[in-house]
Amino acid sequence: MNSYIDLLKVLLPKLLITHFDIVKHETANDVLHLYFEEKKDVPEEFSSSIIISHGFHKEITIQGFPIRDKKVYLHIKRRRWLDKSTKEIAPRDWDLVAQGTRMTVEFAAFLKALNQY
């Protein structure tokens, strides 16, 4: 396995590394922007149907853990899957954003734990 993938597994949510590819990164002042696109692998939950990739949903941007005193923003594009037999978009639910926030679930849990001290 690539060493950069091993490093990313330590820094980023496992879900992102498993199901998304990093397509771009930018650093400006004290902000790091990481851009992800969902891999083109057909999801297991759709294995019983004939599903094809049909573009992307609107990109979402969420805040992740700071890295080396830099704010981190994750820009995520999820694939749109089309069921060829029904001609409907097959919904896939990701638990990427903590409810009521624009942060990753892990980062929100970290901040919540800090607030208790």
Residues 6+ apart with CB under 8 A from 69: 30
Question: What is the Cα–Cα distance from 73 to 64, expressed in whole angstroms?
Answer: 6
Stretch 88-116: mean pLDDT, rounded? 62
Residue 57: the pLDDT is 86
The better pLDDT of the pair 60, 8 is held by 60
Q: Which domain holds residue 99?
A: 3-115
Residue 10: the pLDDT is 78
Question: What is the Cα–Cα distance from 102 to 92, expressed in whole angstroms?
Answer: 19
Closest to 114 in 3D by CA, of 58, 79, 65: 65
Q: What is the pTM for the complete model shown?
A: 0.73
Structural domains in the chain (count): 1
Closest to 52 in 3D by CA, of 86, 89, 22, 82: 82
